Chains A and B, each alone.
Chain A
């Protein structure tokens, strides 16, 4: 062998041509199954029976109407923001600010709950709903304006706005909106009955709002002119201008809607679930919703399915944790494993490994 002759690397990564849609779907399904297997191995490693643990997760989410109601209650704050984010993501506007938009929606709605609690119930609900939309929309328009006007980076901008919103709650909680009855404990008063979202089948009507939004967002994106504009802008700004679209207007409008939907989630969460305003009103769902939206490939119906699966996992995990005495963190690890596989499969959609062939070459 010559000195100059080198070996080919053992494994190479190559970009592949697009796989057919059917194959991609199969790959994704396989990754979910693999994730469940790997999660099972993890459970086995910490000394439990994976089958019974998985069974506990599922039954924990569905075992009674109360359990199912709790599952749905967890689903709502994932579903609605994911729908809102879908609008922005379709436009390739990297809205990482759902968290802040949810919070602002909740803050605006809480204003009415605290200070206009004597309104007739329906008027109060409508005011809170609209205020929630306005709060979220405001938090969506700000980064959109700066992006359209000055070309700022929306990822950082929306991310930073999250913290501003969060600290705004802390400020309100410790100051102007502090519950006068809490003997110094920093919290905002619980909403009166009048300011609580009505229930339907044992769960606040947020789930109904979510379902309606699924339909609206689906139709909006697929069949309306504005939805079409969003797709074009998302693909290429140059194409949008070529087609005579007003780029700035579309970006501002879409982000207003995106934020408004997230704001609805905030209103629903505060008045339907928390029944007060706390710093954990968003509690990270704004980030989880990003994953939900992408896993569902920005398809509203898919988002409904994925957010339900997420909430089953979440609800089931808490039951698993208490019935097996597992640390809450092991449930997180399990969720992490599943996400790792599902997201990791995207790599194999686009790339493939090539191993060195055995034997000599012709």
Chain B
């Protein structure tokens, strides 16, 4: 007890000495059941700096930040804001301390304007709309934000929404800003705009923490980097004194190569031809407009586009899961549009599909590997009973071949890590010996090792002569692994380009709608 008191005094003393630290975390520990999400983490953020919090999925970044913003409460350890020890019990407490967090999923009211969204939840008296607008415009000028205060949220792009979130935080005079994977949903151009804003805030003396796992962005924007691995704080380095390779090694824990293979294939020919495909969303708006393209056997067709540009509908239309308005999908001249997955299968066409929602669509979360192997083939057995023997054999083979970490093949797949879940799903789809393999965001949320396993598996399929479609969000990855890249914007194709000769910036422009007619890459 006495020791602790002394230590507390010391800390206070320390804080007074180094008042430039906006936030200090000391020995923060948080466990969920038996899982230690954060293990005695120390972290400092200075005023006027951008700190990148780097780590793979599951390394505890978001948990740590949630404790600063009052969503969780630490089991152990202390939080100091501006040199004073504080207890943050709710997001309200965090707000009062000048801490603002921008989550991956925006928390905005769709039918309200930007202005209204900024004032709801803010303290203080109601002010007149005109004054409010002036105040907001002043803020936007100060930080270089581009936002129309009167515009309704539902009319906004993702980037604009994010700007409103930032505005919300600034309006509340927050000088400590936490951003959770802010660039995941942005085009390269939008990312640049965001970084400009962050730099302006930094100049005004704010402390900024940015959570990310994209190394190039870390190098570009941050002053210092704190690396987390498996819930532990591994190191904090000055960005200027490090490089991507070193950061990766710190993050993964051992040396890794960062190159993705792009093998060249013989006998590349059209496998699947999509002609004038139009699909409506459930709410009646168009999700896909007159899409036409080909997927070739022995190639990987990358699909780029900001989230919600029609990727999901495209996959599901090809797989026969959603009704289409017009158009055709020809598989070796056989039109499979309007057919159910079962009918397509009965035609002898094996269509592999790794959906975006792995546990909600591709797999049954509460079932073990064996039962998940059965998902598409349970009906093939004769009689009324399910035959689990071949499925069990298959599951065991997959465990061995893909090094799937699971207690046994009956363990519910929801208990497996993200990478293992994806291996189960992709493994099953590959085992059905598909002629076309559609994969939506196959490495999302996976650690670097697992990601590379997935890339290898996809390349293996490509070499076997499978037509692979790869819907991705990380443009660097798309550019490296794809043979050709199709860019979608608002449900339309804005270009199909040769990945080897295209730049990220070009893709970015197409993603926001500028068409590239000239460049045709037919492989």
Contacts and interface: CB of A to CB of B under 8 A. Distances in A.
Direct touching of A and B (C-beta under 8 Å): yes
Interface of A: 2, 4-9, 12, 14-19, 223-229, 231-232, 235-236, 238-239, 241-244, 246, 354, 359-362
Contacts of B35: 17
Contact of B78 (A238, A242, A362): A362
Contacts of A12: 73
B108 to A, nearest CB: 26
B341 A244 contact: yes
A14 to B, nearest CB: 8
Which 4 pairs of residues, A with B, have the shortest CB-CB distance?
A: A17-B33, A244-B341, A244-B342, A238-B361
B414 to A, nearest CB: 9
A236 B384 contact: no
Contacts of B5: 360
B386 A228 contact: yes
Given A225-B379, A361-B4, A242 B353 contact: yes
B357 interface: yes
Given A4-B84, A226-B384, A242-B375, 11 more contacts: A6-B89, A225-B384, A231-B371, A236-B360, A241-B321, A242-B319, A242-B321, A243-B341, A243-B376, A244-B341, A362-B76
Contact of A362 (B7, B353, B381): B7
Contact of B362 (A231, A239, A244, A360): A239
Given A8-B89, A225-B379, A242-B362, A235 B367 contact: yes
B363 interface: yes
A239 B89 contact: no
A91 to B, nearest CB: 13
B87 A2 contact: no
10 contacts: A4-B86, A15-B32, A17-B34, A224-B385, A235-B364, A235-B367, A239-B362, A359-B4, A361-B8, A362-B4
A254 B357 CA distance: 26
A226 B73 CA distance: 46
Contact of B33 (A7, A16, A227, A238): A16
B27 interface: yes
A239 B32 contact: no
Interface of B: 1, 4-5, 7-8, 26-27, 32-35, 73, 75-78, 84-87, 89, 93, 96-97, 319, 321, 340-342, 345, 353, 355, 357, 360-367, 371, 374-376, 378-379, 381, 384-386, 415
Contacts of B366: 235
Given A2-B84, A5-B87, A16-B33, A228 B378 contact: yes
A4 B86 CA distance: 7
Contacts of A236: 360-361, 364-365
B27 A362 contact: yes
Contacts of B27: 362
Contacts of A223: 385-386
B33 A19 contact: yes
A24 B148 CA distance: 54
Find the residue from A12, A17, A19 having the highest chain B CB count within 10 A. Answer: A17
B84 A238 contact: no
Contacts of B97: 4
A358 to B, nearest CB: 10
Contacts, number: 113
B267 to A, nearest CB: 31
Contacts of A232: 364, 375
Nearest to A227: B386
B341 to A, nearest CB: 4
A190 B234 CA distance: 81
A193 B93 CA distance: 75
Contact of B1 (A15, A239, A360): A360
A103 B361 CA distance: 38
B7 A228 contact: no
Contacts of A243: 341, 375-376, 378
A332 to B, nearest CB: 35
Nearest to B388: A223
B499 to A, nearest CB: 29
Given A2-B84, A6-B93, A232-B364, A225 B386 contact: yes
A12 B415 CA distance: 26
B386 A239 contact: no
A361 B385 contact: no
A361 B11 CA distance: 12
Given A17-B32, A244-B376, A361 B77 contact: yes
A89 to B, nearest CB: 14
Nearest to B32: A17
A236 B321 CA distance: 14
B53 to A, nearest CB: 23
Contacts of A16: 32-33
A17 B87 CA distance: 25
Contacts of A7: 87
Nearest to A361: B78
A244 B78 CA distance: 53
A225 B365 contact: no
B273 to A, nearest CB: 23
Given A225-B379, A231-B367, A361-B4, A8 B84 contact: no
B482 to A, nearest CB: 25
Contacts of A242: 319, 321, 341, 353, 355, 361-362, 375
Find the residue from B1, B73, B365, B385 having the highest chain A CB count within 10 A. Answer: B385
Contacts of B76: 361-362
A354 B32 CA distance: 12
B85 to A, nearest CB: 7
A228 B387 CA distance: 11
A244 B321 CA distance: 8
B100 to A, nearest CB: 17
Contacts of A238: 357, 360-361
A243 B355 CA distance: 12
A225 B381 contact: yes
Contacts of A4: 84, 86, 96-97
Contacts of B415: 18
A318 to B, nearest CB: 40
A359 to B, nearest CB: 6
B84 A239 contact: no
B4 A224 contact: no
A331 B310 CA distance: 61
A200 to B, nearest CB: 29
Given A238-B357, A244-B340, A5 B367 contact: no
Nearest to B360: A236
A15 B26 CA distance: 25
Contacts of A239: 360-364, 375
Contacts of A2: 84
A315 to B, nearest CB: 36
A17 B30 CA distance: 13
Contacts of B384: 224-226
